[in-house]
Structure 1
Amino acid sequence: MGSQTFVFSYKWKIMKEGNSRIRALTEAFSSKGLNHNKALGLYTVNAVYGDTITMPCRLEVPDGLMFGKWKYEMPNGSPVFIAFRSSTKKNVQYDDVPDYKDRLSLSENYTLSIKNARISDEKRFVCMLVTEDDVSEEPTVVKVFKQPSQPEILHQADFLETEKLKMLGECVVRDSYPEGNVTWYKNGRVLQPVEEVVVINLRKVENRSTGLFTMTSSLQYMPTKEDANAKFTCIVTYHGPSGQKTIQSEPVVFDVHYPTEKVTIRVLSQSSTIKEGDNVTLKCSGNGNPPPQEFLFYIPGETEGIRSSDTYVMTDVRRNATGEYKCSLIDKSMMDTTTITVHYLDLQLTPSGEVTKQIGEALPVSCTISSSRNATVFWIKDNTRMKTSPSFSSLQYQDAGNYICETTLQEVEGLKKRKTLKLIVEGKPQIKMTKKTNTNKMSKTIVCHVEGFPKPAVQWTVTGSGSLINKAKETKYVNGKFSSKIIIAPEENVTLTCIAENELERTVTSLNVSAISIPEYDEPEDRNDDNSEKVNDQAKLIVGIVVGLLLVALVAGVVYWLYVKKSKTASKHVDKDLGNIEENKKLEENNHKSET
């Protein structure tokens, strides 16, 4: 009976003294705060939400220890015992406290561990070591931290508009403890509140079951054009076991709408220059966002605009499309202009097509052009470029051919024109016959030189006896000329007749040829056309030289004649004087003879 009374009294003493100390410390902690408690030497354990809280008993184990106990204090200061360990029996007992059921562990050195840390574990725990004579206590303050989720920008605006304050979005940060602070950034710079430009509101909501906070920061923003590609982010600043930290959201970019301030008209064409026949597209654009979808297009000479989308198409343009084009917004508040030049090139060839003329006739030819710029003109005859324009004062057979007058505008790609003239020079057959004794003195060659167009057909006839050594051979028909020759060995004087005939006329020429035994004057064959032209050129040169020499001689003769004439006039005066002296001498001699 006495021992039971002692135990009861001892327990009452422990409870009474322990409660008094706990109450006193609780009042001090509540009135002065955590910093003051640290000043009093309170030990703090920082724990991460969901991890295990480990609280060592910071008392030295005294001699005669009977048992150790852990408790925590309620807000009103009353203790709640949660764990007991006997030093003698080594058994551990956990009090029936619902919040800590199956979460506690008390080691042999009286270290208390709490699994799955919660916000509600943020209390002041007390380690108690009891001997027969005394009760020792050491408090430990538990702080629990929960890292928030990554911030998310929700309820984002579809677009922003200049000159309008609009809700940009909400930055939501979930499950933080303690509560964090949310800051908005634009392109890495803090957005500070500005009235009617930047409006930020923060609200915090605590989850009653978990004690965690959700922070929501809304941002209303009035953008400028420069914010078109701006990156907006939000950052949460929170406290953790090791100090202050931050987490940033993913950046978001908003489409910024702003009105059109400038209209631009452009000419879309396949090349830098426009020529007749091209398709031309006019494109009008505004620098607003979104850009205007409709415009008014004004074409030269029209006062009313044509309503269209941002393009206006003109097909197969002509030169009269040259002029000033305009486009404007539908409300005509702003306008832009551009000038279009449609390049053209006209060519007139007179005559053109197929032209037939007679040899010796004149044919005036003209190739005239009309163009938007200076153009180059050149002539081609039978696929060969000519050095000069053709001129026909007296048509020859070699003038016949296919002529092309072509002109181009070098500055305008693909703009060129050409027209053709097919010149046909006709002529009646003309014949010239020649004969030549061959080197073997046994035969003679008779050649019939023929000119005419269309090409005449040639026939030979022989009157008299003589053997034809070969059939008639014709040379190539060039520039309306060719020749036909035969070789004959006449036994007597014969007459050869060459007959040339085309659609215009039939021409007959005969040539008497002596027998092979009778010598006669041989006529050389005509040279070919090219050699004839060269000979003619040489003859012209020789004639020019001779005429020049004659003129020089004539001038020299005139000078000499004038000189002689002057000399003779002077001599007459001298001779007259000399004559008078001679006459006097003769008279004196005659007189002297008569006297004797």
Structure 2
Amino acid sequence: MAASKSALYSAGLHVIFLTLQVQSELSVQMEDAVEFSVGETAQISCSYFFSEKPPGVIIQWTASKGDRKRIYNSNITVSFSDELPDFVGRINISWDSEDDRRGETVLTIMDLKVKDEQKFACQVDGMSAGMQEHQTSLKVFESPDSPEIEDAESIFRVDSNERLKVATCKTRNGYPRPKITWYRDRTTLQQSTDVFIQQREIQESSGLFTIESELYYVVTKQDKDALFYCEVTYQLPGETRMMESKHINITVHYPSTKTEMWISHPKRQVKEGDTVEISCRGNGNPPSYFLFSKEDFEMDFEQDGEKLLLKNVTRADSGTYLCDPMDINVILDQHQGKTKLQVHYLDEVVLTAEKGRVMKLGDSQKIACNALSSLSTHTKWFKGGKTIGEEHVLELQNVSYGMAGEYRCQVTVSSLPNLHRSAAIHIITLGPPMITSPDDVIMDTHIGDFLNLTCEALGSPTPTLTWKVNNSQMTGWSNHLEGRTLSALDMKVTSNLTVSCIAINEEGTDEKFYRVRASISSSLPPDNNGTRAEKVQKESGVIIAVIIISILLLAVLGSILYFLYKKGKISCGHSGKKEITKEKGKKDDIVMEMKTDKTEETVLLQGVNGDKKSLDQCDEYMEVEN
């Protein structure tokens, strides 16, 4: 009732001022729309300008969401929101005037709610100066909750062409109304013959929306690994945002249309003794259980699901193997898997000697090495751990004792190095003994020395060694190896000897001589190379040279003494005689040392003794003079 009276009063004033015919222009400015989120504080501004000073200004705010309702009138003393109780306590009007012609009023709404979204009008009345009104749309936004997706928790079979419910997507409490879009592996799903989307929305008492969408889809086997998800698109002030749900995978079952079968182990060619693993796999889902068999062969096989195990295979296991998927929806004859197994082999090695194992010394021999195999092979011959040939046939030319022994042939499959076999043959060389040392060895030694003589002989059969010393039988020790005998003889030398080593077998005899020249032992030890005499001769030559030099020095000294004596510089006194006698003793010692050898040293020493006699005569002359 009070509001109606105020309105009539305002209208009456307006009529009165219009009759005054005051000419003026009025401009009112407001934004067309403002945007805020739920819970924020919204401010709607309204500014005005008069070209002439008005007699008065009346401001009025109204809100309309269908029917217009007044919020504020500056000319009437009433409470805010008499007609909009929802704004009580959340609304405020401010009015600021810069001068009599210009001003601004602001409508403030706190703690925005969805229901606050409506149009707000600002009316400026300048009485006779004019009246003008503008309005602003207030838009309110609320971001929804994250989308929730649930799959249908069912198994999809592709033998049906029906659109089946795949998943449900739901988002809550959004404003304005959010939008849900479905995707399969980043591809948008839209309504079609294979896709049907059913959507429901609920607006809560708060004005917020809950959107629920269901996806119906014709599932194919290509969807086995596909990912489905939904996306929510929503508005916020000044922008558009999107949120994705988690990605889900559906369970798709379909029968096999193709079956593969292969040898999964070993990765190389198969040889006898291997454990073979044959795998079988179909393209259906879930994987089928398979029944394994061998073509034209009936037996039970050990299998592990999709794998067939064949242990310690032989060449008899070669053939074509089959696997049949045990699926009631599969026609066995059309989807049977096949694979061929080839088991390679290498038979035992056979060695064939052209002339047998026993040969005569100097003969020639061919030894063939054979081994049957399913693949190409390579042959190697060994003797004493060393490779001696790589041909199928080994040729032995002009056989010697050293060529006797064990020959081993190894045959290897070229493409399967682990597949190899070998065999050995022992070759015996028959022949008379052969002493390995040269004949007629001459040895110089001394009576009383001990000699160690050795003798080695080859032959087949293994020879026997005996010793003779000056035609007398002697016993030494012997070591017998196959085709070889080593013997040694230890003896004391008493005179010149002739020692023989005799080798005997069924094929013949060989003999070796040692000629021992014995001499009387000296200070020098016997020399095995027979050079003792040469050493004595060399050392004797050195001694002779030293003696000659000593004699020459004594001769020079005697001449000097004699010359001095003649000049009277010295006298042949007692002391001089004593010195000469002392020198004489030295010379005698040297002579005594060399007397035992009848060489030219004796002659030279005689010359020295002659000089000595002259000195003795000087001594006698000097005694007479005194």
Structure 2 length normalisation: TM-score? Answer: 0.60
Letter in 1 for 2:63: Y
Partner of 2:418: 414
Contact 1:284–1:327 (CA under 8 A) maintained in structure 2: yes
Taking a change above 3 Å as real, the CA distance of residues 14 and 415 of structure 1, as seen in their structure-2 partners, is: farther
Match of 2:470 among 455, 462, 468: 462
Q: Is residue 199 from structure 1 mapped to residue 199 from structure 2 by the alignment?
A: no
Match of 2:116 among 115, 121, 143: 121
Contact 2:478–2:485 (CA under 8 A) maintained in structure 1: no
Please give the alpha-carbon distance, in whole angstroms, between the structure 1 residues aligned to 2:126 and 2:468. 166
Match of 1:173 among 171, 194, 198: 171
Partner of 1:263: 259
Match of 2:80 among 83, 86, 94: 94
Q: Is residue 273 from structure 1 mapped to residue 269 from structure 2 by the alignment?
A: yes
How far 1:311 moved relative to its partner?
A: 1.0
Please give the alpha-carbon distance, in whole angstroms, between the structure 2 residues aligned to 1:117 and 1:434. 128
**Equivalent position SS for 2:171:** strand
Larger deviation: 380-389 or 110-119?
Answer: 380-389
How far 1:107 moved relative to its partner?
A: 0.6
Q: Is residue 401 from structure 1 mapped to residue 396 from structure 2 by the alignment?
A: no
Contact 2:456–2:484 (CA under 8 A) maintained in structure 1: no
Q: Deviations over 1:471-507 (max 9, x none)?
A: 9999999964889999999999x997755467x8997
Q: Deviations over 1:361-410 (max 9, x none)?
A: 99996543121123233322222333464578998644421211211110
Contact 1:146–1:175 (CA under 8 A) maintained in structure 2: no
Taking a change above 3 Å as real, the CA distance of residues 10 and 383 of structure 1, as seen in their structure-2 partners, is: closer
Please give the alpha-carbon distance, in whole angstroms, between the structure 1 residues aligned to 2:278 and 2:402. 54
Partner of 1:49: 37
Letter in 2 for 1:55: I
Please give the alpha-carbon distance, in whole angstroms, between the structure 2 residues aligned to 1:338 and 1:121. 77
Q: Is residue 336 from structure 1 mapped to residue 341 from structure 2 by the alignment?
A: no
Same amino acid, percent of matched pairs: 22
Contact 2:44–2:106 (CA under 8 A) maintained in structure 1: yes
Matches within 5 A, 1:163-242: 163-164=159-160, 165-195=163-193, 197-208=194-205, 210-238=206-234, 242=238
Matches within 5 A, 1:99-498: 99-109=86-96, 110-127=105-122, 138=133, 140-149=135-144, 152-157=147-152, 161-164=157-160, 165-195=163-193, 197-208=194-205, 210-238=206-234, 242=238, 245=240, 247-250=242-245, 252-255=247-250, 257=252, 258-292=254-288, 294-303=289-298, 306=301, 308-331=304-327, 332=332, 334-349=335-350, 367-387=369-389, 389=393, 397-424=401-428, 451-463=459-471, 480=484
Please give the alpha-carbon distance, in whole angstroms, between the structure 1 residues aligned to 2:357 and 2:433. 16
Matches within 5 A, 1:74-85: 75=66, 77=67, 79=69, 81-83=70-72, 85=74
Taking a change above 3 Å as real, the CA distance of residues 146 and 498 of structure 1, as seen in their structure-2 partners, is: closer
Taking a change above 3 Å as real, the CA distance of residues 270 and 458 of structure 1, as seen in their structure-2 partners, is: farther
Please give the alpha-carbon distance, in whole angstroms, between the structure 2 residues aligned to 1:179 and 1:49. 14
For structure 2, which runs of at least 5 residues remain unmatched after alignment?
A: 14-28, 97-104, 445-452, 518-626
Taking a change above 3 Å as real, the CA distance of residues 94 and 422 of structure 1, as seen in their structure-2 partners, is: same
Letter in 2 for 1:182: I
Q: Deviations over 1:393-451 (max 9, x none)?
A: 998644421211211110123111012234455777689999759699xxxx9999774
Please give the alpha-carbon distance, in whole angstroms, between the structure 2 residues aligned to 1:206 and 1:322. 74
Match of 2:6 among 7, 11, 16: 11
Letter in 1 for 2:315: R
How far 1:154 moved relative to its partner?
A: 0.8
Partner of 1:591: none
Structure 1 length normalisation: TM-score? Answer: 0.62
Partner of 1:584: none
Please give the alpha-carbon distance, in whole angstroms, between the structure 2 residues aligned to 1:9 and 1:458. 161
For structure 1, which runs of at least 5 residues remain unmatched after alignment?
A: 1-6, 19-40, 516-596
How far 1:249 moved relative to its partner?
A: 1.7
Please give the alpha-carbon distance, in whole angstroms, between the structure 1 residues aligned to 2:220 and 2:471. 115
How far 1:147 moved relative to its partner?
A: 4.6
Taking a change above 3 Å as real, the CA distance of residues 460 and 225 of structure 1, as seen in their structure-2 partners, is: same
Taking a change above 3 Å as real, the CA distance of residues 168 and 436 of structure 1, as seen in their structure-2 partners, is: closer
Please give the alpha-carbon distance, in whole angstroms, between the structure 1 residues aligned to 2:119 and 2:395. 124
How far 1:13 moved relative to its partner?
A: 0.7
Taking a change above 3 Å as real, the CA distance of residues 335 and 15 of structure 1, as seen in their structure-2 partners, is: farther
Please give the alpha-carbon distance, in whole angstroms, between the structure 1 residues aligned to 2:428 and 2:4. 152
Please give the alpha-carbon distance, in whole angstroms, between the structure 1 residues aligned to 2:64 and 2:455. 149
Letter in 1 for 2:290: F
Please give the alpha-carbon distance, in whole angstroms, between the structure 1 residues aligned to 2:397 and 2:30. 130
Let me know the Cα RMSD of the aligned residues. Answer: 5.3
**Equivalent position SS for 1:56:** strand
